[in-house]
Amino acid sequence: MAKIIGLPKLSPTMEEGVLVRWTKKEGDAVEVDELLAEVETDKATMEFRSFDRGVLLKILVSEGDTLAPDAPVAIMGDAGEDISDLLAQLAAPSVSPTSAQPASPDRQTAVALPSPEPIAAPAASSGPAEAPTGRILSSPLVRRLAREQGVELTALRGTGPRGRIIKRDLEQRPAATPSVARAGRMPARVERASATRRTIARRLTESTQSIPHYYLTIDVDAAPLVDARRQINAELADEGEKISLNDLIVKACAVALRRVPEVNVSWVDGDIHAHQVVDISVAVAIPDGLVTPVVRDADKLGVLELSQQVRELAGRARDKRLSLEEMTNGTFSISSLGMFGIESFTAVINPPEGAILAVGTLREEPVVQGGAVVPGKRMRMTLSCDHRVIDGAVGARFCAALKRLLESPTNMLI
């Protein structure tokens, strides 16, 4: 029996997704767990696999469409099956939760809950259609997008059934010409934020508004760290391997978290979660934002193995090919802007983690040693702490432990 297939929620924080590519076409046979499409979520480009066996009778959305979870995306059924009733339901102003058959609960098959984008051919209209009550005909998704873009739906001409305003009408509306353009100045270019960027914006806002941050800064003598890296890389030269200063910093943080476990904590719904593992999230810049792949059990890894994992995770993060498991449930974060020459900065905590370390660039400057001014190497680091779970004295003990490890790298081996 034919059924409407909805877009599944592919990550816990997914509020919408962009259907990047269909891997099946109408009329294709589909097996259980076979790849149907690729969807860009707030986390990565993820696989949308079929929960049922059948034939893909109708594709309801186009590649590039932004969709809410559970939005209807396709109709599956038997070859040659009549789907006119389902198409009529989709063309109606709303779709009842009972109008689509639920799929296997253990696979979280999505059904048509919100009002979908219409499928039927557009009806001629000179303006937006109104329901008998005077309400403009449009889906919840279109109304939300219109609010975000500051667009009045009454100003649009609907091209959907009965003049219904659909997503395409928003995207193809004529651009407004601000008064500054008449003065010869170019108006701002408005771009639709990606799902990743919108989620970053939401989570950072929540973090800064709900987490009481405080900051502790240390200035580290980095000369021993630079020497240790040089010696290690000399030993690894024959193997074609090398490590970075950041790899040593990740390792030092992992060891420091074992020595000051009170920082390896999270505040979750009024409870303090003291983590028994050290899983470090390493911030990686991607074109439309930032992701944090997680190095599991970082305290148990040798520096070379840790370095290899960081490089491999960072590469797949930039290609948006990380799995959900690989970028969630860290216990502590590290963010570095040293490669951009930034000497010092503060980072926003990645909830529900309790702290994040912001690492600045390696500075060459004169320092005083034994009463004499000599060339030196320094690095400034700032720890952002959640004051609900990490008191100032605890944060200070962690910073002191980290400084000792970085200034005497052999202590990481103890």
pLDDT score, position 131: 52
Is pTM beyond 0.75? Reply is no
Q: How does the average pLDDT of the chain come out, rounded?
A: 84
Instruction: Give the strand pairing for 332-336 and 280-282.
Output: parallel
Phi/psi-derived region of residue 6, left when phi > 0, alpha when psi is between -120 and 50, beta in every other case: beta
pLDDT score, position 209: 92
pLDDT at 101 over 50: no
Highest mean predicted confidence (pLDDT) among 68-72, 249-253, 286-290, 317-321? 249-253
For residues 187-199, give the mean pLDDT: 78
Band (pLDDT 50/70/90 cuts) for residue 193 is confident
* Residue pair 128/173 in contact by the 8 Å Cβ criterion: no
Q: Within 10 Å of residue 290's Cβ, how many Cβ atoms? A: 15
pLDDT at 88 over 50: yes
pLDDT at 85 over 60: yes
Looking at 118-127, 274-283, 322-331, 359-368, which range is the least confident one? 118-127
For residues 253-271, give the mean pLDDT: 96
For residues 230-236, give the mean pLDDT: 96
pLDDT at 172 over 80: no
* Residue pair 366/373 in contact by the 8 Å Cβ criterion: yes
pLDDT at 258 over 80: yes
| CA atoms of 267 and 353, how far apart (whole Å) | 8
pLDDT score, position 117: 38
| Higher-confidence position of 187 and 376 | 376
Domains observed in the chain: 3-107 (2.40.50.100), 140-192 (4.10.320.10), 196-413 (3.30.559.10)
pLDDT score, position 6: 92
Closest CA to 335 of 382, 387, 296: 382
For residues 96-120, give the mean pLDDT: 36
* Residue pair 158/129 in contact by the 8 Å Cβ criterion: yes
pLDDT in tens, 6-58: 999 887 777 788 898 999 999 999 998 899 998 887 667 788 999 889 999 99
| CA atoms of 246 and 295, how far apart (whole Å) | 13
Beta bridge partners of 282: 334
Percent of the chain residues past pLDDT 70, beyond the cut: 85
pLDDT score, position 374: 93
For residues 79-91, give the mean pLDDT: 89
Q: Within 10 Å of residue 114's Cβ, how many Cβ atoms? A: 18
| Higher-confidence position of 204 and 310 | 310
CA triple 60-63-65, angle to 5 deg: 75
Band (pLDDT 50/70/90 cuts) for residue 195 is confident
| Higher-confidence position of 129 and 287 | 287
Looking at 154-163, 179-188, 348-357, 403-412, which range is the least confident one? 179-188
For residues 322-348, give the mean pLDDT: 94
pLDDT score, position 347: 97
| Higher-confidence position of 2 and 176 | 2
Query: Among all residues, which ones are annotated catalytic?
Result: 387
| CA atoms of 395 and 226, how far apart (whole Å) | 25
Band (pLDDT 50/70/90 cuts) for residue 364 is very high
pLDDT at 349 over 60: yes
pLDDT score, position 233: 96
